[in-house]
Amino acid sequence: MYLPEPQNSINDSQSRRPTINISLIGMPGAGKSTVGVVLAKQLGMQFIDTDILIQVQEQATLEQILLQQGYLALRAIEGQIIQHLNVRNSVIATGGSAVYSHEAMENLQGLGKIIYLNVSPEQLSERLGDFAQRGIATASSTSLEQLLEERIPLYKKYAQHTVNSELCTLEEVAEKIARI
């Protein structure tokens, strides 16, 4: 399929007009990646999953990185990737631990809106199944309750908006975000 090259007839002020990005943050299992794909389709935007960017850069799965390098290394890699992300017109699904990097979160704030997808602990427990086997960037001794206690204040700190993604279809969550 042939797509024509963009025309240069757009005047200079229009071509420099910023295009907003939407970054999704929240716990693993909150629906960032699945909602992100639906949202990107609804809004005609590009979709970026930072977990995939990590895996491509490191040529390893997240679980392999955790086993070989540890959770702190995975958090550092994630922070570096997000800190240097430079995109336009994109929905960005971050890993659940993105909020540990202040520099990464500052970059996302500069790129557009940050939306926290909130889900109850009970729903997260159902969605995640065996928490210890999920491959989450945290110490193996950390419980889901401890992780929530640690991360929720960070999600709230960086998000401009919070959307409850519980008891809604993917499309409904995406529509809530699009209205914001």
* Sign of the torsion formed by the C-alpha atoms of 132, 136, 138 and 143: negative
Model confidence over 74-111: pLDDT tens digits?
999 999 999 999 999 999 999 999 999 999 999 999 99
* 3-state class (DSSP) for residue 86: coil
Q: Would you state the pLDDT for residue 79?
A: 97
| Tokens describing residue 111 | 């790129």
Q: Among all chains, which residue has been given the structure tokens 């199944």?
A: 129
Helix (H) or strand (E) holding 48: strand 46-49
The domain spans of the chain are 19-179
Q: Would you state the pLDDT for residue 13?
A: 36
Question: How far is Cα 49 from Cα 54, in angstroms, rounded to an integer?
Answer: 9
**How many CA atoms within 13 Å lie on the side-chain side of 2?**
2
Is it the case that residue 2 has pLDDT exceeding 50?
no
Is 74 exposed, middle or buried, given 0-12, 13-18 or 19+ CB atoms closer than 10 A?
buried
By mean pLDDT, which of 114-123, 137-146, 167-176 is the weakest?
137-146
What distances in angstroms separate CA 121 from CA 40, 143, 180, one per listed residue?
Answer: 27, 11, 25
* 19-179 classified as CATH 3.40.50.720: no
Q: Select from 52, 104, 110 the least CA-distant residue to 83.
A: 104
By mean pLDDT, which of 63-77, 90-104, 106-120, 133-147 is the weakest?
133-147
Angle at 172 between CA 167 and CA 176, to 5 degrees: 110
CB atoms within 10 A of CB 145: 11
The fraction of the chain above a pLDDT of 90, given in percent, is 71
Position 52: which residue type?
I
Q: Select from 81, 82, 164 the least CA-distant residue to 115.
A: 164
